[in-house]
Copies of this chain bind each other. A is one copy, B any other.
Amino acid sequence: MNGAQALLKTLADAGIEVCFTNPGTSEMHFVAALDSEPRMRAVLALFEGVATGAADGYARMADKPAATLLHLGCGLGNGLANLHNARKGKVPVVNIVGDHATYHTQYDAQLQSDIETVARNVSPGFVRTAQSTAALCQDAADAIAAARGLPGQVATLVLPADVSWGEGGQPCPPPAPPAPTAASDEAVQAIAQAIRSGEKTIVLLGGHALREGALRSAARIAAHSGVQLLAEVFPTRMERGAGLPAVERVAYLAELAGVQLAGARHLVLVDAKSPVSFFAYPGKASDLVPAGCTVHTLCSPAQDAAASLDKLAAALGASATQPPLAPAQRPGRPRGPLTAPKVCKAVGHLLPENAILIDEAITSGLMLGVMTAGCPRHDLITLTGGAIGQGLPNAVGAAIACPDRPVIALIGDGTAMYTLQALWSMARENLHVVSVIFNNASYSVLNVELERVGAEQAGPKAKSQLDLKGPVLNFAQLAQGMGVHAVRASTAEDFCQALEYALAHPGPHLIEALVPESLAGPKRKVLPWLLRALPSLPPQVARALKRKIAP
C-alpha cells in the first residue's frame, strides 16, 4: 500500500468521506489512489477557491470535515480566501496540499514555493509537512484531530509527492472526537448575578449557540429574565424559521450595530466574539461595546454552548419557561418590476421545508432575514470571514452534505465573479442548488463605503472602480456556459415563476435577478432600528441611506 492509499483509508476510517479537489501533477498518486477507497467521494472543482469553499460549506452542514486536495503553494493561494472564511467561522477542514517530492525542492523548480508559510495564515493551529510514507498517516490523524478539535479549524497537511507514492503506508486509527465542556460554575453564577441585577443585558449568540438546542435555552433565559438576544453579525450556521426562537443579527453597519447595542450594561458572549466594527472609519470607534458595558464570557467556542446555556437557565430558574417562537408566516407574492427587496420577498414566499439558505447578497440581501423569519425551518449560512466569493462554493458543499435538502444561494453580482466556477461543479454533481444572482451592475456596498469613509469627493475614475457596467455581466449566459440551467428575471412575476420551477426540478439552476442599484430598501416597519439609527449617522450617510431605503 502506498502513502496515498493509506492516507485515503485513514481519512475514510475517520469518517471523512468527501474530498474537494483541484489536483496537478504532484497529486497524481493521490488521484490514482481514489479508486482504492470506495468510501471516498472526490468532487472536482475548476478553481481552488471552489474546493476550499465547498469544504467549508460541507462541514458547516455535515458537522464534520471534508478534505481538500490542492496543488502546491499556488493552488493553496487560490484557495486561501475561502479557507480564511472557514477559519473565521471555526469550521473544520482537512486541507491537503500536494508538494514536490522532498528531494526535488532543493532545485527550486517553477512551482516551488514556501507552502507552510502561506498555510500558516489560515491554519495557525496545524501546519505540517509529511516527511515519510511510514509516518504520513499519523500526520493525517493529527491533522484530523486538529481540524475537528475545540473549536474546529483548518488543519493543513502538506503532502510531498514521494511521500504519497512511496510504499509502506500504514493506515492510522481515527483519533477520538473531543468532548466539549459546559461553562464553569463561576461564569454561570457571575452572569446570573448580572442578569438578576436588572440592568440592561444583551446575550450575544455565535457559533454553535445558533443551533436549535442552544437557541431554545437562550430564548428561555430571555423570556424569563428579560435579557435581549442578538446573534453575531455573520453566523457560520444559524437554525431559524417558524417554531424556533427568532434572534436578530447584529448589523453589518457599525452605526446601526451601535443602535442595537446602545444602553447595554452587560454583554454576555456565548460562543461569540465581542462585537467590533467590520472596518475602521475615520473618527469612529472600532469597538462596538458601549461605554460602561461589562463584557462577560459564558462560554468560549471551545466549550459546549447549549450545555452552558442550560446551566445558566437552570441557575436563573428559567429551565421550564416557554419562550416565544417565530410564528409560521410568509410574505405575500411580490408583483411588478423586480427589486432586491422583492427577490427577498419571493424567497420568503416560496422557501421550501428544510432548505439551506446561503446569504452572500451583501447590500441586496438586507431584507432576507425579515422576509424569511417565519418561513419553514431552515439553516442560514453567511460570510464569516468577509472574503467574498464564499456563497456559491458553500452551496456546492452544503448540497453534497445534505443531498435531500434544497439549497438556495443569494449572491451579489460582484461577489459571484470571484468563484463562479462553482456552477460547473453544481452541474457535474447535479446538485439541487438554486443560485440567485442580484445583478445591479455595481459593487453596491462600496458606494456606501465610499461615503462612510468620508471620501465623498469621488470623481469619475473613483466611481468607475465601483461599477460593473460596460459591459454589464450576463449571469444567465455565464451559467449556461457551465451547463447550468439559467434564466433572467426583471419582474417579480418572472422571478417567482423561475424560483418555483427551479425548486420543483432537482438539479442546479441559476436565476439572474435584474434589479436597480439600491440599498435594497428595507421598509420602515420591518427594520425599525435602521431608521432609528439615522440621526446618529454622519449627515451624508444618513442622506444616502434615506435616499436609498425610503424613497
On A, residues with C-beta under 8 Å from B are 21, 23-26, 28-29, 31-35, 42, 44, 46-47, 49, 73-75, 77-78, 80-81, 84, 88, 100-101, 103-104, 107-111, 113-114, 117-118, 120-122, 161-162, 165, 234, 273, 276-280, 282, 286-287, 383-387, 389, 414, 417-418, 420-421, 424, 427-428, 445-446, 449-450, 452-455, 457-462, 464-466, 468, 470-478, 480-483
With contacts A35-B461, A118-B121, A165-B282 known, what are 15 further pairs, Cβ within 8 A? A23-B446, A26-B279, A31-B450, A31-B462, A46-B414, A74-B386, A77-B77, A103-B286, A109-B279, A110-B383, A114-B120, A117-B117, A118-B118, A165-B454, A424-B473
Chain B residues in 8 Å Cβ range of A103: 280, 286
CB distance B470 to A481 under 8 Å?
A: no
CB distance B161 to A279 under 8 Å?
A: yes
Chain B residues in 8 Å Cβ range of A47: 417-418
CB distance A465 to B276 under 8 Å?
A: no
The number of times this chain is found in the oligomer is 2
- Tell me, rounded to whole Å, the shortest Cβ–Cβ distance linking A3 to chain B: 12
Known contacts A32-B457, A165-B454: A77-B73 contact under CB 8 Å: no
- By Cβ-Cβ distance, the 7 closest A-B pairs, closest first, are A471-B483, A35-B459, A77-B80, A32-B455, A477-B481, A101-B280, A74-B387
Chain B residues in 8 Å Cβ range of A470: 427-428, 483
CB distance A462 to B34 under 8 Å?
A: yes
CB distance A104 to B165 under 8 Å?
A: no
Chain B residues in 8 Å Cβ range of A276: 104, 107-109
CB distance B278 to A110 under 8 Å?
A: yes
- Tell me, rounded to whole Å, the shortest Cβ–Cβ distance linking A546 to chain B: 21
A44 nearest in chain B by CB position: B465
CB distance A472 to B465 under 8 Å?
A: no
CB distance B35 to A462 under 8 Å?
A: yes
CA distance A66 to B122 in the complex (A): 29
CA distance A95 to B427 in the complex (A): 36
Partner of A481, one of B273, B418, B474: B474
Task: List 20 A-B residue pairs with CB atoms under 8 Å apart, sorted by A's residue number.
Answer: A23-B465, A24-B446, A25-B446, A34-B462, A35-B462, A42-B464, A46-B414, A46-B468, A74-B81, A84-B113, A101-B279, A101-B286, A104-B286, A111-B278, A111-B386, A424-B471, A424-B473, A471-B482, A477-B478, A478-B482
CB distance A466 to B78 under 8 Å?
A: no
CB distance B464 to A121 under 8 Å?
A: no
Which among A74, A81, A101, A279 has the greatest number of chain B C-beta atoms within 10 A?
A: A74
Chain B residues in 8 Å Cβ range of A78: 49, 77-78, 80-81, 389, 418
Which among A120, A165, A418, A460 has the greatest number of chain B C-beta atoms within 10 A?
A: A418
- Tell me, rounded to whole Å, the shortest Cβ–Cβ distance linking A106 to chain B: 8
Which among A24, A44, A80, A464 has the greatest number of chain B C-beta atoms within 10 A?
A: A80
A449 nearest in chain B by CB position: B25
Chain B residues in 8 Å Cβ range of A113: 84, 121-122
A457 nearest in chain B by CB position: B32
Chain B residues in 8 Å Cβ range of A74: 80-81, 84, 385-387
- Tell me, rounded to whole Å, the shortest Cβ–Cβ distance linking A60 to chain B: 16
CB distance B418 to A466 under 8 Å?
A: no
CB distance B465 to A287 under 8 Å?
A: no
Partner of A446, one of B28, B120, B445, B455: B28
CA distance A278 to B25 in the complex (A): 10
Chain B residues in 8 Å Cβ range of A26: 279-280
Chain B residues in 8 Å Cβ range of A23: 446, 465
- Tell me, rounded to whole Å, the shortest Cβ–Cβ distance linking A490 to chain B: 17
CB distance A473 to B481 under 8 Å?
A: yes
Partner of A385, one of B110, B114, B286, B457: B110
